[in-house]
Amino acid sequence: MVELEDLPSVGEKTAEKLRDAGFADMMRLATATAKELAVKAEIGEGVAEKVIEAARKSEKIGFETALDVSERRKEVGRISVGSQGFNDLIGGGIETQSITEVFGEFGSGKSQISHELAVTVQLPIEQGGLEGQCVFIDTENTFRPERIIQIADGFELDHEEVLSNIHIARAFNSSHQILMAESINELIQQGNNIKLVIVDSLMAHFRAEYVGRESLAVRQQKLNQHLHALQQIANTYNVAVFITNQVQAKPDAFFGSPTKAIGGHVLGHASTYRIWLKKGLAGKRIARLVDSPHLPEGECVFKITSDGIVD
């Protein structure tokens, strides 16, 4: 393995600064921008550029053939949502190396699916998991360990062990939320086998803090930075990112959906999969895949039970 000190223009001091700032491995460095690295590690931008270039060389980052991309796609793991119909809708479960977004009204099941995934990611591969741990960024204080215990019991898992594999970050405002997401890099570098990052809910703080048209540009810029950090973690460490989002009423809509996800184009472009959740009759829920790079649009019905998400 290439160490920081092996890179040209990195001495002991710079290496220490880089490690302290959470840039301890080549892939993390290779996917950083010079500005980001200069600010966080407190080094000159010129040095930062050189270090990044060297890390990219060592990771052989540049053009790659479609065959390489296809090989990397083979490493993509999938995490079961609990319901077979739902899994089929999204190609077998939520994917690593991607951002999956669910949006829907209050009570449509967004937090319930988040809790379910925090458990299923820990299952063995043949049962729909990745034998991995989870980071749960909780922005609205909706995380409930009691619910995890119920779901874990449904899978006959040792619920204490399940709880100990979920790293909770309670985010108090949007800056804190951004910081927590970026510090996941360190958690992984410390040896935690994180395979899933959940942000429930992505937009709540951004929406509350940036009100009015005049602050929209700043909000979108911050949101972009946050999503970029999440995508970087997904790609660098083969992790699945799952985000929940609220909706905004569109009272003037005659056709199509009367509600739409908030977050604008910045979020629309960042999410690889977008799923719209709706309440159905008799406690049922409907999931509709509205955006995917390679799967057809479609719908499925699922239920929320005390054991978790089922068909």
Nearer to ligand ADP, 2 or 262 (CB): 262
| Shortest Cβ 279–ligand ADP spacing (Å) | 8
Q: What is the CA radius of gyration of the chain?
A: 20
| Shortest Cβ 108–ligand ADP spacing (Å) | 4
Site string for ligand ADP, 88-107 (x = CB under 6 A): ----------------x-xx
- Binders of ligand ADP: how many residues, by CB under 6 A? 12
Interface residue with ligand ADP, options 65, 70, 141, 306 (CB under 6 A): 306
* Nearest alpha carbon to residue 226 among 257, 245, 249, 199: 199
Interface residue with ligand ADP, options 17, 78, 110, 219 (CB under 6 A): 110
- CA distances (Å), origin 218, targets 51, 85, 214, 243: 30, 39, 8, 21
111 belongs to an annotated ligand binding site:
yes
- CA distances (Å), origin 30, targets 61, 289, 298: 8, 33, 37
Nearer to ligand ADP, 2 or 149 (CB): 149
Interface residue with ligand ADP, options 80, 111, 139, 174 (CB under 6 A): 111
Angle at 211 between CA 140 and CA 205, to 5 degrees: 20
Instruction: Please report, as residue ranges, which positions from 146 to 175 form the binding site for ligand ADP (by CB under 6 A).
Output: 150
| Shortest Cβ 150–ligand ADP spacing (Å) | 6
172 belongs to an annotated ligand binding site:
no
46 belongs to an annotated ligand binding site:
no
| Shortest Cβ 247–ligand ADP spacing (Å) | 10
Rounded to whole angstroms, the Cα distance separating 219 from 225 reads: 10
Strand partners, 241: 99, 197
106 belongs to an annotated ligand binding site:
yes
Residue 82 in contact with ligand ADP, rule: CB under 6 A: no
* Nearest alpha carbon to residue 207 among 139, 299, 270, 296: 139
| Shortest Cβ 84–ligand ADP spacing (Å) | 18
Site string for ligand ADP, 181-220 (x = CB under 6 A): ----------------------------------------
Nearer to ligand ADP, 23 or 136 (CB): 136
104 belongs to an annotated ligand binding site:
yes
Nearer to ligand ADP, 143 or 237 (CB): 143
- CA distances (Å), origin 242, targets 90, 202, 226: 13, 10, 13
CA 101 from centre of chain: 9
Residue 274 in contact with ligand ADP, rule: CB under 6 A: no
Residue 44 in contact with ligand ADP, rule: CB under 6 A: no
- CA distances (Å), origin 305, targets 109, 151, 185, 308: 11, 9, 34, 5
Q: Is 170 exposed, middle or buried (0-12, 13-18, 19+ CB in 10 A)?
A: middle
Rounded to whole angstroms, the Cα distance separating 162 from 121 reads: 10
110 belongs to an annotated ligand binding site:
yes
Residue 108 in contact with ligand ADP, rule: CB under 6 A: yes
**Mode of pairing for the β-strands spanning 194-200 and 247-249:** unpaired
Query: 132 φ, ψ to 5°?
Result: -120, 175
Nearer to ligand ADP, 28 or 205 (CB): 205
Contacts to ligand ADP by CB under 6 A: 104, 106-112, 150, 304-306
Q: Which residues are annotated as a binding site for ATP?
A: 104-111
